[in-house]
A and B are shown apart, each in its own frame.
Chain A
Amino acid sequence: MKKVLYRHLFSKVLGFSLLLFSVSFYAQEEAAPTEVVAEAAGGGDPVKGKQLFNQNCAACHALDRKMTGPALANVESRLSEDEGLDKEWLYTWIKNSPGMIKSGDAYANKIYAEYNQAAMTAFPTLSNQDIDDILAYTAAPPPAPVAAAASGATAATTESGSGISNEIILGALALVFGLLVVMLILVNNTLRRIAEANGVVIEKDKADKGLPIWKAFVKNQFLVLVTAIFLLLASGYFAYGWMMQVGVDQGYAPVQPIHYSHKIHAGDNKIECKYCHSSARVSKHSGIPALNVCMNCHKSIYEYKGNPEGPSAEDVANGYTNEFYTGEIKKLYKAVGWDEENQRYTGETQPVEWVRIHNLPDFAYFNHSQHVSVAGIECQTCHGPVEEMEVMYQFAPLTMGWCINCHRETNVKMEGNEYYEAIHAELSKKYGVEELTAAMMGGLECGKCHY
């Protein structure tokens, strides 16, 4: 473990120093062009523009590719060069595009028709200065933190470096151990010689002449009996334990057709579980989200760039590079039939066959909404730290004993629920307690889950 930690430390130090170096290097380059563009953009502030762009435009526009709306890189110059439209036109368009379409403006209607007649939201709140800022940003975006690229590169180098260093360290260690052994033998020999020289006689072990230990063991019948019983019990215990885990798939983490990372979605991006698993609120099934739910976000999130400083060495070792994740998003597009080029659905769908992880047997009835909506239990209670799971696995054993234990120990959340009022009053009187467990409510009865 230590070694691994050390490696991390090592690579981080290396990476950090490279980073420092490259940032200072690029920083010098960066300054000059920004100034030039700022002048050209007529006073717009690209930094502020970027912020505004991300807030208002990024849902439908990207700089360099078509999305719901057209690519916006150098939109101002493109419009004035190709279409002869000035900045005033852009102001009007951005502030009230539907009005412009209605007024019959030729280019406005052309754009409208080209993009599947999806009207652009009007932004009357943006001032001309704001729009200038955005346009400044689109004309020349402040370079993306070059660190990403740089750190990618460094990571790659450290990765290859650490591969070699691993072997070297191992070799060195083996050498050290070998040396130690040789030294010990030498020391021993030396000591022996000194002893002989001094006339010290090393006594031989007397036990050698007595009975071998196993014969002594066999002779002692009591010991044999006890050992046999112990072994039988132990093997029984382990056999039972082994058999009880047949069919218990705790830790089951199958390979899925699309590598979906809960860590990225629920962990890094903090998406609420029930945003995707919405039926958990109302239904017995938590539901695997339909692909149209994925497309709510992935229409605009077409590539993975979630880690500004690049994938960690560990991720890279597992193959979880940005390209890998982006590839998985493309798999989604293929399944749902999304034509990225033209930003429309082709209608050719291919349902995703996920491998089911949590398999309750058919004779056990479990209702998510009872636990999620009524009891207000966190998903993590049964599903574990999903937000940390790169690959989803079965956290709980899902055995009956596990269910029952929780029903015995967990107090039912009754406050503010009118349904429970009468029964709470009666039962708490009966049991003489204020908090009632599910078991007290009859939650251990066979028929509550088996019908």
Chain B
Amino acid sequence: MASNKKYWKSEAELNPNDSIVEALRNNEFTEQIPVDEFLGDKENLSETATSRRDFLKYVGFSTAAATVAACEGPVHKSIPYVVQPDNIVPGVANYYATTIADGFDFASVLVKTREGRPIKIENNTYAKVNGDANARVNASVLSLYDSKRVQGPMQNGEPVEWNILDANVKAKLGSLKGSNRQIVLLTQTYASPSTDKLIAEFKAEYGDSVNHVVYDAISEDAALNAFNAAYGKRALPDYDFEKADLIVSFGADFLGDWQGGGYDSGYAKGRVPKNGKMSKHVQLEANMSLTGANADKRYPMTPTQQKIALAKLYGKLNGSNVGGGTSEVDAAVESVAAQIRKAGNKAVVVTGLNDINAQTVVLAINKLLASEAFDAENPKFVRQGDTAKVSKLVTDMNAGRVGLLIMDGVNPAYSLPNAAEFIEGVGKVDVSVSFSFNNDETAQSSQFVAAASHYLESWGDAEIKKGQYSLMQPAIRELFDTRQFQSALLNWMGSEQSYYEYIKDNWNTNLLQGGDWNKALQDGVFVPAAVTDADAEGAATVISETDEETEEVESIAPISAAVRSLVNATSQGTELVLYSKVGMGDGKQANNPWLQEFPDPISRVSWDNYVTISKADATALGLENTNVANGGLNGSYVNLTVDGTTLERVPVIIQPGQAGGTVGLSYGYGREAGMKEEMATGVNAYALYKDFSNVQSVSVEKAAGEHEFACVQLHKTLMGRGDIIKETTLEIFNTKDHHEWNPMPHVSLNHQEIPVTSPDADLWEEFDRSIGHHFNLSIDLNACTGCGACVIACHAENNVPVVGKEEIRRSRDMHWLRIDRYYSSEESFEQDNEKKEGMEGLFGDNGALGGFGEMEDASANPQVAFQPVMCQHCNHAPCETVCPVAATSHGRQGQNHMAYNRCVGTRYCANNCPYKVRRFNWFLYHDNEEFDFNMNNDLGKMVINPDVNVRSRGVMEKCSMCIQMTQKTILDAKRDGRVVKDGEFQTACSSACSSGAMVFGDVNDEHSKVSELKHDDRMYHLLEHVGTKPNVFYHVKVRNTNEA
């Protein structure tokens, strides 16, 4: 039977006159195949000596040879030390206490070294202030091995010897001594007693012409000046949020980098409900910050509204009447004021408004409240930048008043809003020297580049907080021909001393007060006895009280002026609020692939900065974010114009919680000079940082095109699935039984409801897990601030590869530990749950069809929750049962093992994992020129942890619960012949967690912390109803929603 069916070969056949149709009919390909090009040259072909047979012979021989050669193992060389250092045993890690003080991050840390190589940063638990490493500090060890480091001094871009540089600088110093042209030291904030002393000596040596300008890329000038006016010292007050019952923050991102950061551990301690009490946190802010995300109550407000609210709050507390503002602001202020009155001296107010009036008022409020959390006696010195001096310096340079410019730890040619003017000014300086780490913008514009040492190669000290001293010691000898600024300064002053000797002298004579230098060096921190002494503290308070009295009289007038000016704050158009991202900070470590790949805790976007804008404003401007077919997130572009400066094509992220009428943009991106191509991401927000004010009036206009983001979480909301992040309020938590706010899921067995954890409900036989160690990880969702230090610590400990923006966009990120962030789609997660429960039918007001669609969108001012998720190490693991080669199996200590060498890459396990924590190696990420990150060069490979495998292509990998660490702890105990003490077992994430959210240990040890936490009422397992019986458990998040 003949068929009449007609088969179309292409769309073109629809038009019978199309020339392609004719061509296709006669020819398979429409275009001529260029056979002649390679076969045309007949002469050459026939003359060649290689016949087809020869070719086959060669192929056969080389294949055989390769096969035979493959049977021979390669010869490995082992090269021992010629003279082995006493303190190094190959295979055993050494730890050194040191301090990072790069001008932006200040922290006392421990450095783990293996065979002399620093490979990881850990917290220094001896340190009372800033003993915690944040994500950037954790990642700083990789910056040591930055392949784009300046490897030796340079003159006009050509390598020179140090002695030439020295000679030039010395000659210039000599000629400028006593002249009226300036010698300028433009430096970062050191907070270092020894460096301060050294610079003072330098000034004494070269007289008045020396001008030391301290420059912070992100200025805290207003806070410093306000504190200076009130307390006579240019410093920052310290806050102990653990002591506060009520924290009110006006745009202060104190869990981020506000005033130098380091507040999260104290904050988190107060946030865990104890004896029915926890602190309450109210945040009034424009951008959705990490701090705002953790707040119990968050008011989105523009900076102008924040100023008015602050003024009114002061009025309310002070009893004076302050007018102005809108009704919304009034309501917020009323509520906050009432709560503050109730909390009394247990309340604390902070602000991140870069406005001297706002800072003055906040200081006054805290003083008025006699806030216990507020500490002005022992201020912090982590920011000392003086913007007025910086501005004057640029003018002076351009006027030719500067003869010698020495820069250290700063990159003004990138981070100044008037960078072009600065670069021009540098050109007019006779001799300019920049201590630079990369060949960055400033290095390129300077005459001399003095290759700077990393902090892990340097000596130093720091006084982070008054009376809290810490020491910096090198953990490795300089990798390259580099020098630290202080050594060079000593050299130029003609001193024979090394900076090490200088510090030691200074400490022994001035600081230690009879304390032991070696002990201080070993501990990394030193607190003089007098400070801890109760008497001394009492005396200090007395002095300050008298100060207060005298000051009060003086300060009333300026405060009322400040309040007046705050109330009268106005804004024109959209307000741009510049902020620093948790991952990138001020951009010093922009060439660090770990930090580039670190997803922002709020937006979950990596490898980019972007404009954050509220949904309403975005709709008005026609801006959108779309999820495209390949699973990536796309966003519109805008042009931002501030005062004539335009940033073009800035991608847009629609940010739930962004205050209407404001947009946000983060610093630290857009660096290009001295960077790897892949790392030169984002736009430079410093260009809009006019007058060092983080709030600017901006005009936003849509630009053409779509930006491709690398975002690791596209779904924003929980969709009412309250059992993923269990939440309750403090009131319910205190008054009701835990079955109500932390119910155990039930299943039906023979028409009887039984708890899902019951053995009857289980498919599997239960193993005996009571013998030996059984590891569990506890994660307290109340204490977790989402800071991400654990993510980077995991990177460092477990050799997690960096995959790059393109791969992240394809959802091939390799992070073993992710921190999920969820928004509520209603005002709160509770309302989400209610909405879901209340759905009836498909259509109508409560219909599921429309209802779930709505729930995909986050609220304009949502509640936010963070949840760190890593392999849950299920006792009844779904992944283990589906592996065809038994590459993943269970250990009796509770860990789900992954034998990489056994894995054949079927990925069944990843498909069967309900938590989606398994990561597949799509490529060989090391020694692969397509992935030009740290594992692609010998220098970057030095950070690799030798105790953990570097996985290859085609295998699955995942969190191992740091089995290398637990095994080591067990072995140490065996060798010493003792029992393992509680707290000894750690994972990389739990030891990096400064907030105490993550606790790891042995639940078979009845007295362990983790065992206690496991039996807490707040304990629940993620997706309990699946019956996987995980060894990671969470603690119900409790929100303090009590109004006054």
Q: B78 near A: Cβ within 8 Å?
A: yes
Q: A199 near B: Cβ within 8 Å?
A: no
CB distance from A251 to the nearest CB of B (A): 13
A28-83 contacts to B, CB under 8 A, are none
Indicate with 1 or 0, residue by residue over B179-201, a CB within 8 angstroms of chain A CB atoms: 00000000000000000000000
Q: How far is the CA of A117 from the CA of B188 in the complex (A)?
A: 49
Q: What residues of B have a CB within 8 angstroms of the CB of A370 in the complex?
A: 971, 974
Q: Are B949 and A426 touching (Cβ within 8 A)?
A: no
Question: Contact check: which of B83, B948, B971 meets A292 at CB < 8 Å?
Answer: B83
Q: How far is the CA of A361 from the CA of B91 in the complex (A)?
A: 16
CB distance from B91 to the nearest CB of A (A): 3
Q: What residues of B have a CB within 8 angstroms of the CB of A422 in the complex?
A: 979
With A284-B91, A363-B901, A426-B771 known as contacts, the answer to whether A445 contacts B75 (CB < 8 A) is: no
B934-984 contacts to A, CB under 8 A, are 947-950, 960, 963-964, 967, 970-971, 973-980
Q: Are B949 and A363 touching (Cβ within 8 A)?
A: yes
Q: B69 near A: Cβ within 8 Å?
A: no
Question: Contact check: which of B71, B964, B974, B980 meets A374 at CB < 8 Å?
Answer: B974
Q: What residues of B have a CB within 8 angstroms of the CB of A416 in the complex?
A: 977
- Beta-carbon nearest neighbor of B949 in chain A: A363
- Beta-carbon nearest neighbor of B71 in chain A: A246
CB distance from A421 to the nearest CB of B (A): 8
Q: B558 near A: Cβ within 8 Å?
A: no
Q: How far is the CA of A247 from the CA of B90 in the complex (A)?
A: 26
Q: How far is the CA of A24 from the CA of B316 in the complex (A)?
A: 119
- Beta-carbon nearest neighbor of B955 in chain A: A363
Q: Are A290 and B82 touching (Cβ within 8 A)?
A: yes
Q: What residues of A have a CB within 8 angstroms of the CB of B970 in the complex?
A: 419
Q: Are A249 and B73 touching (Cβ within 8 A)?
A: yes
Which of B9-17, B469-477, B515-523, B887-895 lies at the interface? Answer: B887-895
B881-918 contacts to A, CB under 8 A, are 887, 889, 891-893, 895, 897-902
Q: A107 near B: Cβ within 8 Å?
A: no
Q: Are A362 and B84 touching (Cβ within 8 A)?
A: no
- Which residue among A287, A335, A337 has the maximum number of chain B CB atoms within 10 Å of its CB? A287
Q: Are B979 and A447 touching (Cβ within 8 A)?
A: no
Interface range for A: 35 or more
Q: What residues of A have a CB within 8 angstroms of the CB of B960 in the complex?
A: 447, 451
Indicate with 1 or 0, residue by residue over A278-312, a CB within 8 angstroms of chain B CB atoms: 01001111011111110000000000000000000
- Beta-carbon nearest neighbor of A374 in chain B: B974
Q: Are A291 and B73 touching (Cβ within 8 A)?
A: no
Question: Contact check: which of A335, A356, A427, A450 meets B900 at CB < 8 Å?
Answer: A450
Q: A402 near B: Cβ within 8 Å?
A: no
Question: Contact check: which of A292, A361, A369, A441 meets B82 at CB < 8 Å?
Answer: A292
A435-451 contacts to B, CB under 8 A, are 441-442, 445-448, 450-451
Q: What residues of A have a CB within 8 angstroms of the CB of B71 in the complex?
A: 246
Q: Are B897 and A446 touching (Cβ within 8 A)?
A: yes
Q: How far is the CA of A247 from the CA of B74 in the complex (A)?
A: 10
Q: B772 near A: Cβ within 8 Å?
A: yes
Q: Are B79 and A353 touching (Cβ within 8 A)?
A: yes
- Beta-carbon nearest neighbor of B962 in chain A: A451
Q: Are A446 and B92 touching (Cβ within 8 A)?
A: no
Question: Contact check: which of A282, A355, A359 meets B92 at CB < 8 Å?
Answer: A282
Question: Contact check: which of A246, A247, A353, A442 meets B772 at CB < 8 Å?
Answer: A442
Q: A215 near B: Cβ within 8 Å?
A: no
Q: What residues of A have a CB within 8 angstroms of the CB of B963 in the complex?
A: 447, 451
Q: Are A349 and B82 touching (Cβ within 8 A)?
A: yes
Q: What residues of B have a CB within 8 angstroms of the CB of A246 in the complex?
A: 71
Q: What residues of B have a CB within 8 angstroms of the CB of A423 in the complex?
A: 771-772
Q: How far is the CA of A445 from the CA of B893 in the complex (A)?
A: 10
Question: Contact check: which of B73, B89, B901 meets A282 at CB < 8 Å?
Answer: B89
Q: A430 near B: Cβ within 8 Å?
A: yes
Q: Are B977 and A417 touching (Cβ within 8 A)?
A: yes
Q: Are A290 and B92 touching (Cβ within 8 A)?
A: no
Question: Contact check: which of B770, B889, B950, B973 meets A419 at CB < 8 Å?
Answer: B973
Q: How far is the CA of A336 from the CA of B82 in the complex (A)?
A: 6
Q: Are A291 and B971 touching (Cβ within 8 A)?
A: no
Q: Are A359 and B971 touching (Cβ within 8 A)?
A: no
Question: Contact check: which of A279, A350, A359, A446 meets B76 at CB < 8 Å?
Answer: A359
- Beta-carbon nearest neighbor of A417 in chain B: B977
Q: A116 near B: Cβ within 8 Å?
A: no
With A374-B975, A445-B891, A447-B891 known as contacts, the answer to whether A287 contacts B949 (CB < 8 A) is: no
- Which residue among A353, A355, A447 has the maximum number of chain B CB atoms within 10 Å of its CB? A447
Q: What residues of A have a CB within 8 angstroms of the CB of B892 in the complex?
A: 442, 445
Q: What residues of A have a CB within 8 angstroms of the CB of B83 in the complex?
A: 290-292, 336, 349
Q: What residues of A have a CB within 8 angstroms of the CB of B977 in the complex?
A: 416-419
Q: A351 near B: Cβ within 8 Å?
A: yes
- Beta-carbon nearest neighbor of A246 in chain B: B71
Indicate with 1 or 0, residue by residue over A398-437, a CB within 8 angstroms of chain B CB atoms: 0000000000000000001111111100110010000000
Q: Are A290 and B975 touching (Cβ within 8 A)?
A: no
Q: What residues of A have a CB within 8 angstroms of the CB of B90 in the complex?
A: 279, 283, 285, 287
CB distance from A262 to the nearest CB of B (A): 16
Q: Are B901 and A361 touching (Cβ within 8 A)?
A: yes
Q: How far is the CA of A111 from the CA of B947 in the complex (A)?
A: 52
With A246-B71, A417-B977 known as contacts, the answer to whether A365 contacts B947 (CB < 8 A) is: yes
Q: A254 near B: Cβ within 8 Å?
A: yes
CB distance from A231 to the nearest CB of B (A): 24
Q: A367 near B: Cβ within 8 Å?
A: yes
Q: Are A354 and B77 touching (Cβ within 8 A)?
A: yes
B50-88 contacts to A, CB under 8 A, are 71, 73, 75-84
Q: A373 near B: Cβ within 8 Å?
A: yes
Q: B740 near A: Cβ within 8 Å?
A: no
Q: B768 near A: Cβ within 8 Å?
A: yes
Q: What residues of A have a CB within 8 angstroms of the CB of B89 in the complex?
A: 279, 282-283, 287
Q: How far is the CA of A373 from the CA of B901 in the complex (A)?
A: 28
CB distance from B455 to the nearest CB of A (A): 28
CB distance from A419 to the nearest CB of B (A): 5
CB distance from B935 to the nearest CB of A (A): 14
Question: Contact check: which of B78, B82, B772, B967 meets A448 at CB < 8 Å?
Answer: B967
Q: What residues of A have a CB within 8 angstroms of the CB of B974 in the complex?
A: 370, 374, 417, 419-420
Q: How far is the CA of A446 from the CA of B880 in the complex (A)?
A: 13
Q: Are B772 and A290 touching (Cβ within 8 A)?
A: no
Q: How far is the CA of A420 from the CA of B768 in the complex (A)?
A: 18
Q: How far is the CA of A421 from the CA of B771 in the complex (A)?
A: 12
A350-394 contacts to B, CB under 8 A, are 350-356, 359, 361-365, 367, 369-370, 373-374
Q: How far is the CA of A362 from the CA of B895 in the complex (A)?
A: 21
Indicate with 1 or 0, residue by residue over B815-843, a CB within 8 angstroms of chain A CB atoms: 00000000000000000000000000000
Question: Contact check: which of A288, A292, A363, A373 meets B975 at CB < 8 Å?
Answer: A373
Q: How far is the CA of A26 from the CA of B73 in the complex (A)?
A: 56
Q: Are B92 and A283 touching (Cβ within 8 A)?
A: yes
Q: How far is the CA of A249 from the CA of B77 in the complex (A)?
A: 15
Q: Are A419 and B979 touching (Cβ within 8 A)?
A: yes
CB distance from B965 to the nearest CB of A (A): 10
CB distance from A410 to the nearest CB of B (A): 15
CB distance from A414 to the nearest CB of B (A): 10
Q: What residues of A have a CB within 8 angstroms of the CB of B901 in the complex?
A: 361, 363-364, 450
Q: Are B895 and A447 touching (Cβ within 8 A)?
A: yes
Jot down 13 A-B pairs with beta carbons below 8 A, ordered by A: A247-B73, A283-B89, A283-B92, A292-B82, A354-B78, A370-B974, A418-B977, A430-B768, A445-B892, A445-B897, A446-B889, A448-B891, A451-B898
**17 more A-B residue pairs beyond the given contacts A426-B770, A430-B768, with a C-beta to C-beta distance below 8 A:** A288-B78, A336-B82, A350-B82, A351-B79, A352-B79, A354-B78, A354-B79, A369-B975, A420-B974, A422-B979, A441-B772, A442-B772, A442-B891, A446-B887, A450-B901, A450-B949, A451-B963
Interface residues, chain B, with chain A CB atoms under 8 Å away = 71, 73, 75-84, 89-92, 768, 770-772, 887, 889, 891-893, 895, 897-902, 947-950, 960, 963-964, 967, 970-971, 973-980
Closest 9 CB pairs of A and B: A447-B897, A283-B91, A290-B84, A290-B81, A285-B91, A356-B76, A446-B899, A288-B80, A349-B82
